[in-house]
Amino acid sequence: MAVEKAFAINAEPPKIWDALTREINLAEEDVYEVEESIINEYLALRVKFQDGIEAHISYRLIPRDDHTEVVATMHPEGLRYAVFQMITFGRSDINYEMGLVVGLANLKAAVEGNGEPLLEDAPAD
């Protein structure tokens, strides 16, 4: 099941792209793999979470008149994810939704100037 969240960020795509890729480059190399990259437009990653679940995460940067819309989509997958889905009756996606919200909120804070994370990282079960 796909989880998707979008934020309006008051900046041009190149500034958002720089902040996004800077954060990703700080992560350990065995945690993610870049699957596709179109500079200032689209970034697709394969990510390994601590609990053994893998996911495809993509970011689309869509220029608007007075801001850039950043859309993050996550597709968790694998047997462990399927088991969590069954045990929680599909409610485990709430953690993934919160993870996307926290990530986008922190990206927005970094790009729009205060540089301080707005939220702490949400745990992903």
The DSSP code sequence of 69-113 is EEEEEEEEESHHHHHHHHHTTTTTHHHHHHHHHHHHHHHHHHHHT
**Cβ–Cβ < 8 Å for 92, 105:** no
The encoded tokens of residue 50 equal 């601590």
Give a yes or no: residue 79 inside a domain.
yes
Q: What's the pTM value of the predicted model, to 2 decimals?
A: 0.79
Give a yes or no: residue 24 inside a domain.
yes
Give a yes or no: residue 119 inside a domain.
no
Give a yes or no: residue 18 inside a domain.
yes
Residue-level pLDDT at 37 = 95
- What is the domain extent for residue 44? 3-112
Task: Count the domains in the chain.
Answer: 1
The single-letter code of the amino acid at 19 is: A
Query: CA 7, 84, 25: angle at the middle one, nearest 5?
Result: 45
Give a yes or no: residue 122 inside a domain.
no
The single-letter code of the amino acid at 20 is: L
Question: Tens digits of per-residue pLDDT, 70-102?
Answer: 999 988 776 565 555 556 666 666 677 788 888
- CA distances (Å), 114 to each of 8, 18, 19, 68, 100, in order? 16, 16, 13, 18, 20
Give a yes or no: residue 40 inside a domain.
yes
CATH number, domain with residue 39: 3.30.530.20
Report, as an integer, the average pLDDT of 14-30: 87
Give a yes or no: residue 90 inside a domain.
yes
